[in-house]
Structure 1
Amino acid sequence: MPAPDALDAALALFKDPVKARSLPGRPLPPDMAGLLAIAVGNEEALAAASRRSGFARQPLQDAAGFFIEQALFCRDADSYRVLGGGPHSTHEELRHNMALLMRWLHPDLQSLRKGPLDREVFASRVSRAWEDLKTPERREAYDLRRTPESSRPAAPRSATDAPPAAARATDGSRPAGGGSANGKTRSGKAGGASNGAGRPGVGKAGAARPMRNGKSPGAGGRGAGAGTPLPHRPRPLSVHKIEEASLWVRLWGLLWGRR
């Protein structure tokens, strides 16, 4: 039994139009040129299709036209599919299909059809598709444009594409601020004692020391690392003692009390 061709697919879709939803993801069946000849009303193609399927002329043309609309002019169809072919199609095949499509979309043939459907809107898509594939140079350029991004070779990485700082800190290098790779500060005078001298403004006993000009006493390299910003601490509010009353105030109170 021969494999189903474009006429078989068109008749099956005409009987069950719901199958049109799956057409955009399927490849085109063989012998699309024969189906296009049926759509334009070629007498020889219609006679052969009628003998084979048992359908009359008009149902065959309607089935062919409906399949062409759904399979060739779907939203994501490329130029090959719009012309009823594929990347393997020859230039003569694409040219022949383009001529049949433009004849099918001609206004004179549109006036003979029944119904409000206007298929002239597809003529611009056929023209654009043929412009993409009409010469070998344009076809080669179009093939380069339609190549998926995943199949293109990756661009070489330049020397300026350095890893981020967070990634460099995990490879065993010394982090900023004078600490070692394991996250601990170096012991000794530069790092301060282990009882809290490494923190800004904290002495050996752990008591807070006053800040001078926003710097800790060891900001010159004796406290935190040179690249580590010091935390801002608000200055403590000064408490002023209430001075005793002056001599004139006490004298005035004494005189006022005698009254």
Structure 2
Amino acid sequence: MGSRFHLFLIILCLLLALSSIGYSVPTEATAEQQANSTSGLHNPDAKVTSPSKIWKNPGLGYTTLLRHVHGVLNIIGWGTLIPIGIIVGRYFRQEFPIRCDQWYSVHAVCQTCGYIMGTVGWAFGVSVLHSSSKRSHLPFLVLGIFIILLTTIQIMFAVCMQPKKESGARRRCWEIYHHVMGYVIMALIIGVIFEGINAQRHPKKWRWGYVGILSGLAIVGAALEVHRCYRLKLFKQAMKLNANMYSPTT
């Protein structure tokens, strides 16, 4: 069952990575419709169109809708689920601070769901470029491809090339690589999300919303780290006390 699940994850990651790179959504909007859709992004006095009219007429606020979907999916997928998976992998796989036997399943589900949502959100970002006449965010899009490729490699290495715990030094080297690469990807994701927020219609609201999410995750991580250090200190003191009690006297 485990090998089938791993094979399914590999195939899913490859399909998402390949399809997202070649993803495109052609639109039939005319130049006038595109001008109307992009003008609402820079004109704060523009009228807000209802969602039903947006879907019926892609030229009215269609780009704004795509931007919002793109932002929400990326913030939830890349910016929330991926960090939660990292927290679970760091603080729930050992006795300190909290032991959870199902930590690996929770970690894998968070990372996989975050990867899928982030990739779909990136595809909506491609749609934004196709429905807009501007190409100023092309480097931002390329950086998204880079993050998707790094995350795909990270997942495939975790599934296919993870040494057993009995491997010793090889296992230790793999853990160092896995942790460092995970933190690098997370730093890139946070930077890209804040860069993408600047392209939204109301960047201040988006920025403070994501700052709130990061603050909540940081508080949880800091609390778990303090609890881990405290319990580890108590454990070492207990071990030292036991060693002194049972040490042979001369």
**Structure 1 length as normaliser, TM-score?**
0.27
* Larger helix percent: 2
**Structure 2 length as normaliser, TM-score?**
0.27
Q: Which has the higher contact order (CA 8 A, sep 6+)?
A: 2
Larger-gyration structure (1/2):
1
